[in-house]
Amino acid sequence: PVSLVLGGDGFCGWPTALHLSEHGHKVVIVDNMLRRKIDEELGTQSLTPIASPQDRCAAWKEVSGKDIEFVEMDVSGPLDDVMSLIEKYKPDNIVHFAEIRAAPYSMKSPGKKAETVRNNLLGVHNVLISMLEHVPDAHLIHLGTMGVYGYGTVDGAIPEGYVNVKMGSKDMEIVAPYHPGSVYHTTKCLDNVLFNFYVKNDQLRITDLHQGIVWGVETPETARDPRLVNRLDVDSDYGTVLNRFAVQSALGLDITPYGTGGQTRAFINIADTARCIRMATENPPAAGERVKIYNQVAECHTVRDIAQMMEGLSPAGSKVVNVPNPRNEKAENNLEVINQNFRSFGWNPVKLDDGKAQELVDTIVKYKDRLVLNNLAPSSFWGKRQAAACLDKAEAPAVA
């Protein structure tokens, strides 16, 4: 099958592109390099030294014998460009990662809020229009987020997309209510509204994956050559919580849970992100079938427990130091997530344990000389109250 991986130069996109190629897909990466430009804007960099897309693809050809094509394009740009792209490659699968993905970055300023909405919604809509015109039988696999549901808002387990309700005397199945926690999460909710319209009106085939927080760096494919290494973000805008704590643990910095650390979150390893995307390509909905929604989640942990695990593994004596929360969220919440769809495909996810966490810490130590201290402390705030609390406590990261 021909698979376009939109946003294929990013943290989730790159290992997914390699994994699909390894499993026989003809892969075309489409990326506008925005994530790398945001690094420059923030004055930071990936802790791992990532090669250019061209060098990455060439390295993959060397080690695997398989071609991956790279196209530099902004799918949120002119519609004609996206139409031409889809018409040229006529993909069987379109894997959509090409969205601004960080909740903190989406809350950083009025301009970042506006750009997150513009980029994410226009990109998705351009792809949907182009699919309809040129490949109406193709399968769109979109990476969403568990954050569309919010946290601590559901009594019981979070369902996989749909709930049964009674409207007056009529029993109905509806999309589970949204409760987004940032502008970024809100765009993912709005994406799903667009998906439901195009499925209802035009019978497009769409799968929306509500993914947990991703941790880890390497996958079996990226580990085959240093030039294939995945990016690792450690700043407060783009660094996911477990990876951020691992960096702090490895390098002797304070491990800094926000607030009480009692927030419970869903997690998944980066290698499982790629595996789940492949399984989604192998199990498309039928034409006209409702949007398939899968909870792409392996396990749930409190932020507090992860911080304590990383403190215990620190080779440099890091300690847990709670800091004010820059987000507007509940201090404590429970979380239970249903993930039976991927389980039914035989998925056996990687689980976080001391061994896996130690591997992550060891990888980080290898690249410690690349650490940029800028933006390790929170620099994006959900409101003036959160900003005042955080800035009042702000100080340089302590080194053990």
pLDDT in tens, 330-365: 988 888 888 989 999 999 999 988 888 898 888 888
Strand 93-96 to 68-72 pairing: unpaired
pLDDT at 169 exceeding the cut of 50: yes
pTM of full prediction above 0.75: yes
pLDDT at 246 exceeding the cut of 80 = yes
Query: Is it the case that residue 174 has pLDDT exceeding 60?
Result: yes
Residue 47's pLDDT band (cuts 50, 70, 90): very high
Residue 140 is predicted with a pLDDT of 98
Say if residue 396's pLDDT is above 60. no
> Average of pLDDT values for 266-283?
96
Question: Could you count the other beta carbons within 10 Å of the beta carbon of residue 85?
Answer: 22
Q: What tokens does 390 get?
A: 């955080």
Catalytic annotation, pick one of 105, 149, 151, 184: 184
Q: In what order do the strands lie in the sheet with 93-96?
A: 68-72, 26-31, 2-6, 93-96, 139-145, 205-211, 292-296
The string of pLDDT tens digits covering residues 110-167 is 999 999 999 999 999 999 999 999 999 999 999 999 999 988 777 778 889 899 999 9
What does the block give as tokens for 82?
A: 């996206």
* Active site (annotated) includes residue 184: yes
Longest dimension (CA), the chain: 65
Give the tokens for residue 120: 């994410």
Q: Are 238 and 382 in contact (CB under 8 A)?
A: no
* Residue from 16, 44, 48, 145 carrying the catalytic annotation: 145
Mean pLDDT of 7-35: 98
Catalytic residue of the set 108, 112, 188, 292: 188
With bands split at pLDDT 50, 70 and 90, how would you rate the model's confidence at 26? very high
Q: Considering just the CA atoms, what is the radius of gyration of the chain in Å?
A: 20
pLDDT value for 240: 87
Q: What is the pLDDT of residue 376?
A: 83
Would you state the pLDDT for residue 398? Answer: 44
Instruction: Please confirm, yes or no, whether 145 is among the known catalytic residues.
Output: yes
Q: Is 219 an active-site residue?
A: no
Task: State the average pLDDT for the chain.
Answer: 93
Q: Assess whether pLDDT exceeds 90 at residue 279.
A: yes
231 confidence band (pLDDT: 50, 70, 90): very high
Check whether 394 has a pLDDT greater than 80: no
